[in-house]
Structures are given as C-alpha cells and as structure tokens.
Structure 1
Amino acid sequence: MVTTVASRVESLSSSGIHTIPKEYIRPQEELTSIGDVFEEEKNIAGPQVPTIDLRDINSEDKQVRENCHQELNKAATDWGVMHLVNHGISFDLIDRVREAGKAFFELPIEEKEKHANDQASGKIQGYGSKLANNASGQLEWEDYFFHLVYPEDKRDLSIWPKTPSDYTEATSEYARQLRSLATKILSVLSIGLGLDEGRLEKEVGGIEELLLQMKINYYPKCPQPELALGVEAHTDVSALTFILHNMVPGLQLFYKGKWVTAKCVPNSIIMHIGDTIEILSNGKYKSILHRGLVNKEKVRISWAVFCEPPKEKIILKPLPETVSETEPPLFPPRTFSQHIEHKLFRKSQDALLSKEG
C-alpha cells in the first residue's frame, strides 16, 4: 500500500492544526528532555560537538599532517561525531545540492507523490514518511526522500526527481566528491588503529561495494515541538554518515549522560561514525546516540548520506588487531543485514517491554 497524501507530515503541518495527533507524541520519559531547540543552541555552557579542520589532512609536513589526524581520531574516539570544515567540497556545489533538495520539497504534494516509495512491498527508495516499525506505533515528525547515489552503476535514476532540473547533476557530483572524502577519512581512522591506511575502506566494501545512500529529511513546522521528535534517538548503522542542513538547529547528541544540541557551523559537513566502524574498531571509535528536534517557527531540512557496506558479502566483527586478552571482542560476527535486523528486533522488544511496564 502506498502511503496516502493525508498521512504526510507536511499535510498535517499545513492543515492549521494546533495539537498533534497522539501517535506523534513521545513517551513521558522522553518528554522531560525535549526543550526549545533555539534556546538549546545558544547554550555555550557544557560540552560542544568538536569542529575538525581538514585543511592539513594530506599536508606534506609530517607533523602538521599528524596533528590533523590526531584531532580527527580524538573526536572519533571521544564523540563519534564532528563538524568538518575545509573538507574540500566547494560551497557552490553544497548550495546547489541544498537548493535542489529544497526545490523538490517545495513542489505540490501531488507532484512529490509521483515519487512515493512503498515500504510494504520493499520499494524503499523514493518519497516517504515514517511508518511505525515498532510495537509502540510512534511516528516521527518528518517526510523524506531516500535514494542510492553511489556507485553510479547501481543507481536507479528513474526515481530521481526531474524537477528541479539541476537535481541529478548536483547530487551526482556531490556524491562523487563525498566518496573521495570518505576514503580520506577512512584512511585516517585506519592509521589511528595502527592499520594500513587502506584497511578500513577494504573492510567496508571498497570502491565497488561501499554504497552511499542519501536521505533528505524534511521537518515541517510543528505546533507542539515540545511533544514530538523529528527523528527518535538512534545510532547510525552505516560506516560513516555525512550531513548537510539548512542552518536550522535540530541535531542532538547523547554525550556523557546528557543531550547536547549541535551548533550550526557555517560551511561545515557533520560526520558521524556509524555502528559498522564502531564494530570493526572494537568500540575504539564511537557510534553516538542522536536524535532530531523540531520547532514551530522554521522548516528544517537535512541531507544525510550513509556510507554502508554491502548487506551480505562481508562479516562485520572486531578486526583481529583491535582485540587482545585485555580487550576481548565487544561485538559478535554479523552481516550488515543481520546487524540491522538485530537492531530492529531489539527496538521492538524494548517497546513491548515499556508497554508492559
């Protein structure tokens, strides 16, 4: 069954409602931690998501290069998330990607519906909204567009938006450049584990098999933002995730027992370490719990690109070099597909338990 227009969050938001439907209201234990995101972003007390300058990532000067690598590794070890600046992707291209995504979501809903996905039949690429996949039946305050953007020979361009006309070209070029950036990051993370620089890239599928999936998240204005979440708390299953946004705050990280709101850093790309790298590194690099807040004043849009290993071809487990008598393996061997299933199963079990409780 294709999701109907009436169930789009954008339709709800623009319908003039003052209270949100009950299926969007978070459980009581979560509500105590949801504040005003604009106030939260102004808070300069307490920990801040690190900003890593990549200008010297390939410097000829060994010491300068190593200092850059150390900063990145420290952020990956301590936080598992960071703002990347001087990442080498032009601001002009980033603006084109943002303009193209924004223009798609500004189309009439009927136009966007022509790109609708159909999760029930396994057609996950396209325009969609969250379907309840856990026992609590809760929904998130977002619509999205999801599609594979790299490698180019694995794309299905028939589902890509034709309007705006720059969408395919801008998104394709951005994916190509992100893929190169991913190689550089994986190289630094490999060296940080004492491995050959190409090792992690090889372990997640290499140039042929590592998939880049883009999800444009569209968070409409919400009349009761203190009751809802744009995206509920989760860790990313990917190897790495790269995120652009339209400079409206919303991302929160669960760091040392508290929710920390990420600042909006101009010209940066946010990068998350995903579960895949956490597993391969035996927990040295962190896959941090994070969520998205919404607000009643501004639409927030984010462009997340998930770098994912192939679903069945690789067994994910801590690399032998990361394991010792004092540091036994923290994760059992699983394919990427099994890891996703395990997370979904645990989530539905947790939801059942909280209902019974």
Structure 2
Amino acid sequence: MASSVAAACERNPFEFETSLKDLANSSNLKAVPSKFNFINQPTALTSDALPIIDFSALTADDTDRRSKAIHDLSKACQEWGFFILVNHGIPEELMNATFTATREFFSLPAAEKKQYEAKTASDPIKCGNFNVANTSNQVFTLWRDYLKLYVHPEFHCPHKPQLLREVLLEYSERCRKLARTLVEAVSDALELERNCVDEALKLDSSFQMFAANFYPPCPEPDQAIGIPPHTDPGLFTFLIHNGVAGLQIEHNGHWFNANSPRNAILVNAADQLEIFTNGRCKSVKHRAVVNNEKERISIVVANGPSGEAVVGPTSSLLRKDGRPFYRSMKYVEYVESQLTKSRVDGKSLLEQQMI
C-alpha cells in the first residue's frame, strides 16, 4: 500500500489530463504508466452476509412487516454500514438509460469534456482524472475517469449528451425520495421525532451529488487503484454498476467484495449519518479496485442534508449518551474539504470530527 496520509494535493486535484479511456484503448499499453502507480493488494474476501433490505417492506401497510424491516435496516447501518436495497421501485429501464447516457458522455471527444474541467472543489460540474498527493509529496493519478454533478437543490448537467439530462432529472429525484424514506426509517428505529430530524438536516433542500466513474481494464491491477480507501460525506450513498464488480468494503479489519445483484442498489451509510446518530450508524471505509479484463462503470448518488445544515449529534441522542462524540460542521464545508483533501491510509475527515 502507498505511504500514509495524502493531504491537500500539490497540484490541482481536478486537473484535466488525457482521457484514461483513450489511454487504455491504446494497443501498446502493456504496463501501468508511472503517474498511476499505486501498489496495492486488490484481493478481498467473499461474504454472503451483506444485509439485504426490502424497500417495499419499509413502506408496507403491514405494521409487523414494516417494524421488522426498520429493525433490519438499523442493524445493517450499525453492524455493516452497507446493505443491498431491493424492490426499490426505480425502473430497470431508467437505470439502463442512465448507464447508456453515461457511456455517451465518456465517449465524447476530449475537447468536449475539457470545457467541464473544474477549477475549484465547489464547481457544480467537473470531469477528468483525479490526482492524489501523499505525505512524501508524491502525486499519482487514479485509474478512473469521472463526471461529478451537483443535481439538487440546483440541477447542473453537461449539454451533451442530451439523454443524460433527460434521465438524470428523474433518476436523481427518485433517489432523493428513497434516501428520505431510509432516513425516516432510521429515525423511527432510534425513536427520533421526524420534525426534529427535518429541522436539523433540512431535507427539503438536501444537497445531492451524482458521480459516474469509468474504470477501463488495467494491465496491472496491483499497480493502480480506482479510488483509495475512503468514507463518503452525506447520509446515504447509492451505487449501481454495469455488472462488473470492483467495490470492496472494510468490515472487522478485513476487506470484503461488495457484490450486488442486477437492478439492486448498493447503499452505504455516510459520514453525516454517523455524526447525526452520535456513532450508532457506521460510515465505513470502502475502495474501488480495477481488473485487467473488463471495463467497469459505476453510478453513484450521494444524498446529504442541506448544504447549509450544521450537522452534529442530535440532541435527543445526546441526552442518552451524556456527551457528543463528534464535532459539528456545516455540510457544504465538509464536502468541499473532503474533495480537496484526499487521503490514503491516513486520518479521514470523519475521524478528525471525532471528539
């Protein structure tokens, strides 16, 4: 594994470089170029214990069925921090169309994509590669092309392809509704008053980010990485992929492959949910590894509180715990700080918030 903490990048982390997609398609690429070098061990354990949550049970009229689903969700957030969401109601056609639109974007000419090169972390549209600097001031590039968009409370999207704007409006809205129901279910499990939760997190103006990640086949998977170990800002993060696995999660000191069935959504509790619940829900480290056979596309929607919400442990849980275990921080500042300070095997922003 590369040397420890990666602090603020020595150069712009959003600097646009040659498309990784074009580089990987080069017929003479036999080894990982030095700028991508990140020595790692991509193998992980396989487990069939990752919780499965039936979303339809969370919204069922049957009180017993709903109560069990809420209990199972709360347990999953506390023990694993990850779960597989099934029967979520998002049409398969919409999910497939989102992948189609994403592929079209990554296939645009480099000149088209370069106009979305970000200058700051707060730019609402950004694409390209991402550079990470470690404590030895060595900079390496992730084996990933990405597109990141702020889609709520204001919607931002590239002009091309047109299909992306069409499908993303609906997909992001459906994800927001799912996320809100999950937050309400966790609140019910912890016996929190919903009006207090809404007031604290300001969910009507929730900050939502869409990310599409393209990982081409890598000639040396142990010499590069898609995304290093990290946790996510927000409340719940949703991930779907094109059928090629690559996400790994840390559980009880071991790395596990997080495989999810087709049309299911892989969901993880994020940093602000851990902070808001004063540590009851766990935001766990996860990473994206690469392979040498197939291209992988993942579509991620990060669902957070309002950017203006100052998130700290909720008062009703503080009365039970006697003290806060986390500091409070404005959510938009948390997001921007995490985007500009990438870390590898070091103290994460979430860990810095711990008291």
Distance apart, 1:247 and its partner CA = 1.1
Whichever residue aligns with residue 254 of structure 1, its letter is E
Among 136, 139, 143, the alignment partner of 1:137 is: 139
Matched, 1:244 2:240: yes
Q: Secondary structure at the residue paired with 1:59?
A: coil
Structure-1 residue corresponding to 2:5: none
TM-score (norm 1): 0.84
**Aligned residues with identical type, % of pairs:** 27
Among 195, 218, 231, the alignment partner of 1:235 is: 231
- The within-5 A match list for 1:139-288 is 139-151=141-153, 154-157=154-157, 160-163=158-161, 165-207=162-204, 209-288=205-284
The CA distance in 2 between the partners of 1:339 and 1:68, in whole Å, is: 31
Q: 1:85 to 1:199 in 2, by over 3 A?
A: farther
Among 305, 311, 320, the alignment partner of 2:315 is: 320
Structure-1 residue corresponding to 2:351: none
Q: Are the aligned partners of 2:313 and 2:326 in contact in 1 as well (CA < 8 Å)? A: yes
Matched, 1:334 2:345: no
Whichever residue aligns with residue 18 of structure 1, its letter is K
Distance apart, 1:267 and its partner CA = 1.2
Q: Determine which structure has greater relative contact order: mean sequence separation of CA pairs < 8 Å that are 6+ residues apart, divided by chain length.
A: 2
The CA distance in 2 between the partners of 1:274 and 1:69, in whole Å, is: 18
Distance apart, 1:271 and its partner CA = 1.1
Structure-1 residue corresponding to 2:30: 18
Distance apart, 1:54 and its partner CA = 1.3
Distance apart, 1:324 and its partner CA = 4.5
Q: How far does the alpha carbon of each residue in 1:177-217 deviate from its partner, in whole angstroms, 9 at most, with x for none?
A: 1111111111101111111235434422221x211110101
Q: Secondary structure at the residue paired with 2:250?
A: strand
Structure-2 residue corresponding to 1:74: 75
The CA RMSD over aligned residues, in Å, is: 2.6
Distance apart, 1:81 and its partner CA = 1.1
Q: 1:198 to 1:250 in 2, by over 3 A?
A: farther
Q: 1:341 to 1:212 in 2, by over 3 A?
A: closer
Q: 1:276 to 1:127 in 2, by over 3 A?
A: same
Structure 2, gaps ≥5 residues long: 1-11, 348-355
Q: 1:58 to 1:18 in 2, by over 3 A?
A: same
Aligned residues: 331
Q: Secondary structure at the residue paired with 2:225?
A: coil
TM-score (norm 2): 0.85
The CA distance in 1 between the partners of 2:67 and 2:57, in whole Å, is: 9
Q: How far does the alpha carbon of each residue in 1:222-246 deviate from its partner, in whole angstroms, 9 at most, with x for none?
A: 1111121101100001121111111
The CA distance in 2 between the partners of 1:336 and 1:275, in whole Å, is: 10
Q: Are the aligned partners of 1:280 and 1:318 in contact in 2 as well (CA < 8 Å)? A: yes
Whichever residue aligns with residue 78 of structure 2, its letter is T
Q: Secondary structure at the residue paired with 2:57?
A: coil
Whichever residue aligns with residue 227 of structure 1, its letter is Q
Moved more, 190-199 or 58-67: 190-199
Distance apart, 1:95 and its partner CA = 1.3
Structure 1, gaps ≥5 residues long: 352-357
Q: 1:194 to 1:234 in 2, by over 3 A?
A: same
Structure-2 residue corresponding to 1:354: none
Whichever residue aligns with residue 183 of structure 1, its letter is R
Q: Secondary structure at the residue paired with 1:84?
A: strand
Q: Are the aligned partners of 2:51 and 2:76 in contact in 1 as well (CA < 8 Å)? A: yes
Whichever residue aligns with residue 99 of structure 1, its letter is T
Q: 1:63 to 1:4 in 2, by over 3 A?
A: closer
Distance apart, 1:73 and its partner CA = 1.1
Q: 1:82 to 1:220 in 2, by over 3 A?
A: same
